[in-house]
Amino acid sequence: MACSTVTPPSTSFIGNKKDLNLSVFSSATPLSSQKCERKSKKICSVMSPQQSERKPATTGSVKTGMTMTEKIFARASEKTQLSPGENVWVDVDVLMTHDVCGPGSIGIFKKEFGQNAKVWDREKVVIIPDHYIFTTDERANRNVDILRDFCTEQNIKYFYDIKDLSNFKANPDYKGVCHVALAQEGHCRPGEVLLGTDSHTCTAGAFGQFATGIGNTDAGFVLGTGKLLLKVPPTLRFVMDGEMPDYLLAKDLILQIIGEISVAGGTYKAMEFVGSTVESLSMEERMTLCNMVVEAGGKNGIVPADSTTFKYLEDKTSVPYEPVYSDAKARFLKEYRFDISKLEPLVAKPHSPDNRALARECKDVKIDRVYIGSCTGGKTEDFMAAARVFLASGKKVKVPTFLVPATQKVWMDVYSLPVAGSGGKTCSQIFEEAGCDTPASPSCGACLGGPKDTYARLNEPQVCVSTTNRNFPGRMGHKEGQIYLASPYTAAASALTGYVTDPREFLQ
């Protein structure tokens, strides 16, 4: 057998780094892989290597440094040491499902464990209707009915139900978008394992926990056992330093990263975010950062818990938690470094989240509408950011601008919290003055298309600037629609001009 060692390349995926102010560095200890080729099946000779006397070890067991994700896996599998590539059974702290995947997961659970089986822990299952809610589609409505029946049967503690579709405020238990609701309701905690039947479950990694999306079959198994067999992912480390310009948001940071490593660059890898810029981000902005790691193929995104995390959790959970942090000698597959102070506002052009471009380079792209909402861009701070642009301009929007708060709490914030520098005006007042649509009922809305009567769905081949997370053909409805992914700043600026617009035109 002839063997050669192959070191992973550290080449960039973009030619002109100067314009995007990015540098890439391989980690000091790159992983190596063995590539073996069979030269001949005939054995010519066999040589035994020279043996030397082995001396007994004097240092005891050698412990290798671990990353945050590896430590969480080790704790959840009751192991003292783990390395990337190992398969382990992990104990699940929280399982979340919603109206799209919940019925399928429940069906598998009942088929495999029995019609009268009970879930492993009724207080660790969180069920959140949020996707296809405000619709007359009978099958979509049936899905919520299935969730309700199951939660009654199993006495599920955390079921955020909705019965009156005509007025979401008449449903005190209803929350809205699952990933934002999980955080607001205290289900996200450092050091834990959170699994959900939705690819953007990775959002919760902002709290320093392992969070990832799983399929219905895996969810059905977790419902019955509270465990899942998972492979330990290697970790990519993203170091972001520099003062964040006041015209950038976390959406710009993650679009930069995805544009750099591509939609496949993080496939089954943990993506760890550190650096002074990350430390300066609010929890909602960290959630945006982790939310879109799946658009790079990532298994999970993760941010070290700190005082910002602990303060956010103070009034949200009484469950004790224990943060973990990467060791100084932890091994990273690759490390990327960014000087955020030099970054400019970005968009992802159709039809891929890695089709990165500077917003100012797309100033001639005429648009038909703007959408502000979703788990990525429908949080309170996202609407505050959009309101800031509208306030600074003092103008009215030139295209229909749809606003979909992620949760009932966000909706309340839009109508109650004053915007800084506005003289006490709320987001809703500023939006009304700018000519935007009235904020809609909280849900996933048109982010993933949905039934034909879904609010703000792309039912025509239009061009849309959106704060959502995916722009594949048909994602928001019409398969010929064109979606430009952008931050709330860029989305609001584009609404004011009718073209893709750099927000610095209004913020500077």
pLDDT confidence of residue 64: 87
Distance of CA 443 to the CA centre of its chain: 16
pLDDT confidence of residue 508: 82
Q: How far apart are CA 389 and CA 380, in angstroms?
A: 15
pLDDT confidence of residue 158: 98
Give the position of tokens 């479950």.
201
DSSP 337-381: EEEGGG---EEE-TT-TT-EEEGGGGTT-B-SEEEEEHHHH-SHH
pLDDT confidence of residue 482: 98
Amino acid, res. 327: D
For the chain of 508 residues, list the mean pLDDT of each consecutive stretch of 10. 36 38 39 40 43 48 86 98 98 98 98 98 98 95 97 98 92 96 98 98 98 98 98 98 98 98 98 98 98 98 98 97 97 98 98 98 98 98 98 97 98 97 97 98 94 96 98 96 98 98 95
Joined tokens for residue 299: 């298994």
Domains of the chain: residue spans and CATH = 68-312+330-341 (3.30.499.10), 347-505 (3.30.499.10)
Residue 37's Cβ-count burial label (10 Å; 0-12, 13-18, 19+) is: exposed
DSSP 145-213: HHHHHHHHHHT-SEE-----TT-GGG-TT--BSHHHHHHHTT---TT-EEEESSGGGGGGGGGSSEEEE
The model's pTM is: 0.88
Collapsing DSSP to helix, strand or coil, 401 comes out as: strand
pLDDT confidence of residue 62: 57
pLDDT confidence of residue 471: 97
Joined tokens for residue 90: 């992990």
Joined tokens for residue 242: 């520099």
